[in-house]
A = this chain, B = another copy of it.
Amino acid sequence: MTYSISEAATRSGLPIHTLRYYEKEGLLPFVQRTPSGNRRFEQSDLDWLALINCLKGTGLQIKEIRTFIDWYKEGDCTLGKRLDLFRKQKSAVEAQIKELKMHLKKINHKIKYYETACAAGTEKACDGMDEC
């Protein structure tokens, strides 16, 4: 079972143009073509897209993802590099979560601040809660 580019777009949640762009950037080197040149996506290509989505969503740039895919293509001699990449990415994501939790704390504080202000109808009611 294979999918046309529009089916792959639907299943991955990405626009068609983005899929072509990703392929051009070397992120989808395994997508096959029909004799007339149309792309046919297999499940494994959609799996790659899910991994690309994960790496992008955690801050890797497209050229860094391409490097990873190039390593994959080189085979077992790059296993160490690939393990390293995921270990670094693990730390990066943990740091991102930590930062977001700090931001969330600040935002929750602001919500309390503005709830007080809204209830009173004026920001003056928040003297000493904080600034801004």
What are the residues of chain B within 8 A of A54 when measuring CB–CB?
103, 106-107
**Is A80 touching B118 in the complex (CB atoms < 8 A)?**
yes
Interface status of A104 (Cβ within 8 A of chain B): yes
**Is A114 touching B99 in the complex (CB atoms < 8 A)?**
no
**Is B118 touching A51 in the complex (CB atoms < 8 A)?**
no
**Is A79 touching B117 in the complex (CB atoms < 8 A)?**
yes
Determine chain A's interface SS by DSSP, over half rule.
helix
**CB contact under 8 A between A76 and B107, given known A97-B101, A114-B83:** no
**Is B86 touching A111 in the complex (CB atoms < 8 A)?**
yes
**Is A90 touching B114 in the complex (CB atoms < 8 A)?**
no
**Is B132 touching A51 in the complex (CB atoms < 8 A)?**
yes
Interface status of A121 (Cβ within 8 A of chain B): yes
Nearest CB in chain B: distance from A17 CB, A = 22
Closest B residue to A118 by beta carbon equals: B79
Bound complex: CA A95 to CA B47 (Å): 23
Closest B residue to A114 by beta carbon equals: B83
Shortest Cβ-Cβ A-B pairs, 5 listed: A83-B114, A86-B110, A54-B103, A93-B104, A76-B122
Known: A44-B132, A79-B114, A89-B107. 9 other contacts (CB 8 A): A58-B100, A75-B123, A79-B117, A83-B117, A86-B110, A86-B114, A93-B100, A97-B100, A100-B100
